[in-house]
Amino acid sequence: MFEKIEKNGKLLGHQLRTHRSLCFFGSKNLPLDEVRSLFPDFQFRSLKQVHGQRVVQASAEILEADGHWTAKHEEALLIQTADCVPVLIEGLNEIQALHAGWRGVELGILNVALERFNEPELKALKIFAGPHISKDHFEVGKDVARRLLESDPLKDPRSVFNHPDPEKAYVDLDRILQNQAHSFSKDIKIQFLDIDTFVSEDHPSYRRDGKGAGRFYSFIARLDKTT
């Protein structure tokens, strides 16, 4: 269960501790320097995100990618998002953090991440998805909707549904991501933090606010010291 972190009546974010890791999804009220201050025991690793599918080993150097992984317990893997989906993955021996915008979902960034795990590891995975734009507000052109449906291994008709404008459609990124995960193992269940950035006053939304929307920060860090 995710726990709210608040200060002076403002939401800072939500965190979830397992026996292996700490997952954190921030808010617009917690800039990066305050994320670092709130969690001083971690070495934070960042990316230059480009809406792609590349997943790299975490590094002190800021690499161009949209996902990173580590087996080290002291590294916290940062992702910044507005309406895109921040995805945090806890494995038996490593963790991953992904920036899954619609382009990343289309390109299969989750597939790239899951290819790192063998079958026993896949069955033990825990995947958490943070605040992002919901299916009720994620509207796209019909061409993008078709491309996203193609990225769904089940071609699930429930992933795309009608919009009042016949040239547009609504897309359920949650369903596509879950179907992609199930193509690796039916045992994988993604736990979604049910917050729609388009309507949440505590989260930035590019679709709602435009280019000045800003971003919020999410991360996962290993707590065990087996590596």
- What was the pLDDT predicted at 177? 98
Q: How many domains does the chain contain in total?
A: 1
CA gap 140, 218 in Å, rounded:
25
- What was the pLDDT predicted at 35? 97
Give how far the C-alpha of residue 193 lies from the chain's centroid of Cα atoms, to the nearest Å. Answer: 10
Considering the domain boundaries, does residue 149 fall inside one? Answer: no
In order, the DSSP letters of 46-105 are: -EE--SS--EEE--SS-EE-SEEEE--TTEEEEEEESSSEEEEEE-SS-EEEEEE-HHHH
| b (16+ CB within 10 A) / e for 62-93 | eeebbbbbbeebebbbbbbbbbbbbbbbbbee
Considering the domain boundaries, does residue 161 fall inside one? Answer: no
Query: Does position 224 have pLDDT exceeding 80, yes or no?
Result: no
- What was the pLDDT predicted at 227? 45
Strands 139-141 and 160-162: what pairing?
Answer: unpaired
- What was the pLDDT predicted at 1? 85
pLDDT digits (tens, 9 = 90+) for 12-57: 999 999 999 999 999 999 999 999 999 999 999 999 999 999 999 9
CATH of the domain at 112: 3.60.140.10
Considering the domain boundaries, does residue 173 fall inside one? Answer: no
Considering the domain boundaries, does residue 22 fall inside one? Answer: yes
Considering the domain boundaries, does residue 137 fall inside one? Answer: no
Structural domain span for residue 117:
3-132+190-222
pLDDT digits (tens, 9 = 90+) for 140-154: 999 999 999 999 999
Considering the domain boundaries, does residue 183 fall inside one? Answer: no
pTM of the model: 0.96
pLDDT digits (tens, 9 = 90+) for 160-182: 999 999 999 999 999 999 999 99
Is 25 in a helix, a strand, or coil? strand
Considering the domain boundaries, does residue 89 fall inside one? Answer: yes
Query: Does position 189 have pLDDT exceeding 70, yes or no?
Result: yes
Q: Which among 34, 25, 22, 27 is positioned nearest to 11, based on CA atoms? A: 27
Considering the domain boundaries, does residue 194 fall inside one? Answer: yes
Query: Does position 107 have pLDDT exceeding 50, yes or no?
Result: yes
Strands of 172-215 (E only): list them: 190-192
- What was the pLDDT predicted at 146? 97
Percent of all residues in the chain with a pLDDT value above 90, rounded to a whole number: 96
117: its two tokens: 């795990």
